[in-house]
């Protein structure tokens, strides 16, 4: 990891409002403010917390697999609407609103934003005020009565000479932005998971329809064979073969019903409701929805700003780089300023007539720590190097996801087309075989083979359509679709 130079920062506006303090304390406060202004012109140590540039990542200029020229970010945000299935769109939108993983990610984002605000608050002076009143009276014997009133104002501030506090704030802000990106990544993954399970449910329904259609064909065949056997035109072997084929088809139906119910239950959990709740909404069965014919993938470099998991890894790297500066700042002296204004009186009305002000500056520097501080610096640098490697690996995985999805879309289209042709031919073969068997022109085994071929062709065609739909979903997910860009923009300002 390349080490950047230390960066100097300009002093912020440290102008105080003396009107908020008694007149007698303004001089001491003015001296403290002047010292603070001089010290704020220091330099922050450690590397500049910036992610590597796109050029240094050596991204390819284009994807190897066929893709469009440019992807439309607006169409990626709600990509599920391009499937033309209102039920799918309803499920995805309900999941984004009610999923428990979404709620957990939102809570983590709120916590990270609060931590960022706390880190930024450490750059400002800390003020505290106190007041007390006491009364003593003689209970028995001679003595005197006494009242005492006290009020005070304390202030403390650490001069961020070497950037320990500013680097801590930078790390906290980057962590908050990483949490915002993680929330967006939950949205991205959740939308895809809902769509994939929806396709699984529709696939199970379609395969059930195929099995039941073929079961009806085989029931009719079994009846015909039974009549022919009674008339002495068919053997007992043919009758048992017909029964066996019919039973095998019937046995597949319970498994398909189980697959459908599992997909429906998983959909319910993704929506944040009890299993079984959405099963009725999947009735009646519908055709497996397909995505658009052409999905534009854009350029590989677009993924850096489009995929929230990459943004999260990038901001994690920025946070770790900032923490290197925090660790290095521990090697240098720390200057802290404190001041106080106090007044006491036996009469409440005279409390503000006699005010005492104090200003204290303290300087502390590490002399001997047994190498602990430098070890922490090296440890943090190693952590930053690991974050950089993780970021680079995440980019490679993202490129792989897109390439695989592009290939899958291209190949599943071809496969579905060929299987549609095979299904048409198999259906015509069964029609001809049934007619010829009834006329005694072919043997029974030929009819059984034709019926089994039809069942396999229909089932394979249905599965190919689902695979094509899943490939489109995976491509939308790989491109970073399914999250709102405003989720990251709002992370910079924090929750209101």
Tell whether pTM > 0.85.
no
Q: Which of 471, 348, 361, 492 shows the shortest CA–CA distance to 410?
A: 471
- Angstrom distance (rounded) from CA 336 to CA 324: 22
For residues 342 and 207, the model is more confident at 207
Contact 200, 276 (CB under 8 A): no
- What is the Cα–Cα distance from 263 to 258, expressed in whole angstroms? 9
Rounded CA separation 294/75 (Å): 13
Confidence band (pLDDT; 50, 70, 90) for 35? Answer: very low
CATH number at residue 284: 1.20.1600.10
| pLDDT per position as a tens digit, 291-345 | 888 888 888 888 998 899 999 999 999 999 999 999 998 888 888 888 888 888 7
The answer to the question of residue 354 being in a domain is no
Q: Does the residue 242 lie in any domain?
A: yes
Domain ranges, residue 417 = 49-123+171-331+372-493
Only one residue has tokens 């999905």, namely 295
Q: How many domains does the chain have?
A: 1
Query: Is pLDDT at 179 greater than 60 in this prediction?
Result: yes
C-alpha angle with apex 450: 447 to 456, nearest 5 degrees?
145
- Is residue 165, in this structure, part of any structural domain at all? no
pLDDT at 149 over 90: no
Which pLDDT does position 4 carry in this prediction? Answer: 42
C-alpha–C-alpha distance, residues 97 and 87, integer Å: 16
Asked if 300 and 60 touch (Cβ cutoff 8 Å), the reply is yes
Q: Is residue 344 part of a domain?
A: no
Span 397-430, pLDDT tens digits: 999 999 999 999 999 999 999 999 999 999 999 9
Consecutive H or E run containing 179 = helix 164-230
* Separation between Cα atoms, residue 297 and residue 279, nearest integer Å: 34
99-143 tens-digit pLDDT: 888 788 888 888 888 888 888 887 778 888 888 888 787 677 666
Q: Are 480 and 305 in contact (CB under 8 A)?
A: no
User: Does 302 map to a domain?
Assistant: yes
Q: What confidence category does residue 66 fall into, taking pLDDT thresholds of 50, 70 and 90?
A: low
Whether 352 is in a domain gets the answer: no
In a domain? residue 156 = no
Q: What is d(CA 50, CA 40) in angstroms, rounded to the nearest whole number?
A: 23
- Report yes or no: 326 and 167 within 8 Å, Cβ to Cβ: yes
From the number of C-beta atoms within 10 Å of its C-beta (0-12, 13-18, 19+), residue 390 rates as middle
Lowest mean pLDDT among 6-20, 85-99, 219-233, 290-304: 6-20
Residue 467 in domain: yes
């Amino acid at each position: 990891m390349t080490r950047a130079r230390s960066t100097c920062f300009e002093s912020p506006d440290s102008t105080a409002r003396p009107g908020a303090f008694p007149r007698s304390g303004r001089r001491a406060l003015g001296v403290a403010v002047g010292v603070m202004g001089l010290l704020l012109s220091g330099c922050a140590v450690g590397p500049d917390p910036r992610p590597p540039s796109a050029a240094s990542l050596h991204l390819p200029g284009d994807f190897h697999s066929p893709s469009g020229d440019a992807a439309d970010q607006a169409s990626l945000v709600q990509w599920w609407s391009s499937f033309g299935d209102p039920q799918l769109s309803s499920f995805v939108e309900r999941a984004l609103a009610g999923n428990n993983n979404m709620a957990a990610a939102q809570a983590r984002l709120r916590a990270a934003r609060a931590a960022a605000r706390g880190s930024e608050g450490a750059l400002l002076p800390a003020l505290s005020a106190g007041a007390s009143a006491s009364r003593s009276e003689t209970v028995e014997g001679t003595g005197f009565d006494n009242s005492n009133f006290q009020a005070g104002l304390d202030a403390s501030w650490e001069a961020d000479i070497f950037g320990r506090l500013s680097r801590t704030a930078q790390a906290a802000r980057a962590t908050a932005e990483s949490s915002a990106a993680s929330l967006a990544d939950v949205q991205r993954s959740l939308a895809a998971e809902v769509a994939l399970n929806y396709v699984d449910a529709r696939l199970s329904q379609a395969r059930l329809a195929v099995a039941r259609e073929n079961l009806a064909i085989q029931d009719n065949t079994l009846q015909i064979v039974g009549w022919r056997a009674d008339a002495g035109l068919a053997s007992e072997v043919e009758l048992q073969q017909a029964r066996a084929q019919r039973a095998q088809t019937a046995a597949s139906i319970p498994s398909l019903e189980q697959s459908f119910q599992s997909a429906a239950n998983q959909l319910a959990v993704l929506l944040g409701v009890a299993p079984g709740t959405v099963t009725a909404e999947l009735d009646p069965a519908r055709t497996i929805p397909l995505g658009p014919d052409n999905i534009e993938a854009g350029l590989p470099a677009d993924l850096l700003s489009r995929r929230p998991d990459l943004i999260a890894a990038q901001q994690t790297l920025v946070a770790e780089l900032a923490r290197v500066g925090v660790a290095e700042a521990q090697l240098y002296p720390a200057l802290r300023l404190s001041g106080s204004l106090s007044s006491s009186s036996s009469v409440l009305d005279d409390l503000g007539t006699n005010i005492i002000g104090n200003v204290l500056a303290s300087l502390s520097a590490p002399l001997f720590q047994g190498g602990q501080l430098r070890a922490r610096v090296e440890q943090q640098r190693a952590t930053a190097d690991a974050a950089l490697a993780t970021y680079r690996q995440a980019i490679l995985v993202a490129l792989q996801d897109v390439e695989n999805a592009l290939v899958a879309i291209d190949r599943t289209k071809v496969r579905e087309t060929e299987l549609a042709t095979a299904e048409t031919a198999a259906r015509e073969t069964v029609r001809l075989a049934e007619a010829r068997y009834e006329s005694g022109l072919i043997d029974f085994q030929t009819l059984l083979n034709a019926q089994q071929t039809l069942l396999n062709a229909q089932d394979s065609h249905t599965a190919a359509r689902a695979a094509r739909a899943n490939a489109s979903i995976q491509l939308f997910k790989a491109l970073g679709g399914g999250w709102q860009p405003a989720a990251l923009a709002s992370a910079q300002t924090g929750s209101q």
